[in-house]
Amino acid sequence: MIIETRWIISTIRMLLGRYYNWKLLIHDNHKINPMLNIVLFGPPGAGKGTQSEKLIEKYSLKHLSTGDILRAAIQKQTPLGLEAKRIIDKGELVPDETVIGLIAKELDANKNVKGFIFDGFPRTTLQAQKLDEMLTSKGIAITMMMALVVDHQELVKRLLNRGLISARSDDQNVDIIENRIKVYNDYTKVVADYYKEQNKYKAVDGMGEIDEIFERLCTTIKEYQKD
Alpha carbons 76 and 70: distance in angstroms, whole number? 10
Does 39 help bind ligand AMP (rule: CB under 6 A)?
A: no
Interface pick for ligand AMP out of 88, 145, 148, 150 (rule CB under 6 A): 88
Residue nearest to ligand AMP (CB): 67
206 binds ligand AMP (CB under 6 A): no
User: By C-beta, is 123 or 202 nearer to ligand AMP?
Assistant: 123
- Answer for which of 130, 162, 180, 202 binds ligand AMP (CB under 6 A) is 180
Region near ligand AMP per CB under 6 A, out of 22-30, 75-83, 115-123, 128-136: 115-123
Among 35, 38, 89, smallest CA distance to 65 is for 38
- Quick check: 70 binds ligand AMP (CB under 6 A)? yes
Does position 93 interact with ligand AMP (CB under 6 A)? The reply is yes
Instruction: Give 30 or 92: the residue with its C-beta nearer to ligand AMP.
Output: 92
Amino acid at site 90 = K
Q: Which is nearer to ligand AMP, 175 or 227 (CB)?
A: 175
CB of 14 or CB of 190, closer to ligand AMP: 190
Contact between 85 and ligand AMP per CB under 6 A: no
Q: Which is nearer to ligand AMP, 35 or 100 (CB)?
A: 100
Contacting residues toward ligand AMP, per CB under 6 A: 44, 66-67, 70, 87-88, 91-94, 99, 120-121, 123, 127, 170, 180
